[in-house]
A = this chain, B = another copy of it.
Amino acid sequence: MVLQTETEEKIIASAEKLFYQRGKAGCSMQDIANDAGINRTLLNYYFRSKDQLFEAVFRKAMGSFVPSLASILHSDITFQEYVPAMVETVIDTLIENPQIPTFVLQELSSNPARMPQIIREMGINPAIAKKKMAADGVLPADQNYDSIQLIINILSLCIFPFAARPVIIDILFDGDNDAYIAAMKERKKLVPGMVKQFMMQNPSK
């Protein structure tokens, strides 16, 4: 990590906060400057344009979870260890940074092409991940339909509860945030169990 000036850090912190909450178009440079308690023109001095400031925030957000995912996806552990490791990593990351899913999905909707591109840039190779699952004998190489559903299930069960966090806390937990967090931690054990069941129930054809 490159050393940053104090001002630069304040800008990033405020930009993250506001972009996460309201999206790229939902807040102005002035809003960010106000939140950071600095002059608005400093944002242009440090990041040149709103686009480039947003880009910095977006890449930082992606960088907070893609590399850890990538290392697991490409590691040498067996598939049986693989699923709990992935689930734990993702959920722990999201407990720390619960707003990331909504933020990323939001950007995804106005710019569908960019996220897959960045994921690849950051070192996730779908082909390698699929081959790994095949190599462990969990799923055969010539039939990847179920393995795709498996990945979709894992990601859904881990990420969605954070993407829909406000409604879930309000409707299902009657506003109790601590109970919500506890339930998310519980899911680190729950989800691998469900996924294991899924694999037994849907053997590769």
- The binding surface of chain A is classed by DSSP as helix
Instruction: Give, as a whole number of angstroms, the nearest-CB distance from A41 to chain B.
Output: 23
Contact: A110 with B21, CB < 8 Å? yes
In contact, B115 and A149 (Cβ under 8 angstroms): no
Taking CB as reference atom, which chain B residue is nearest A147?
A: B172
Structural contact, A163 and B166, CB atoms closer than 8 A: no
Interface size on A, residues (CB 8 A): 52
Chain A 98-141, CB-CB to B under 8 Å as 1, else 0, gives 01001101101110110110010000001000000000000000
Question: A168 near B: Cβ within 8 Å?
Answer: yes
Asked if A193 is at the interface of the complex by the 8 Å CB criterion, the answer is yes
Give which listed residue, B116, B166, B172, B173, contacts A112 with CB less than 8 A: B166
| A194 within 8 Å of B (CB atoms) | yes
Task: Tell me the bound Cα distance from A130 to B186 in angstroms.
Answer: 20
A148 within 8 Å of B (CB atoms): yes
A155 touches B160 (CB 8 A): yes
State in angstroms the CA–CA spacing of A156 and B198 once bound together. 15
Least CB separation from A157: chain B residue: B156
1/0 contact trace for A152-170 toward B, CB 8 Å?
1101110111011011101
A24 in the interface (beta carbon within 8 A): yes
A194 to chain B: which residues have CB within 8 Å?
Answer: 153, 194, 197-198, 201
Interface residue ranges, A against B (CB under 8 Å): 20-26, 99, 102-103, 105-106, 108-110, 112-113, 115-116, 119, 126, 145, 148-149, 151-153, 155-157, 159-161, 163-164, 166-168, 170-173, 183, 186-187, 190, 193-194, 197-198, 201-202
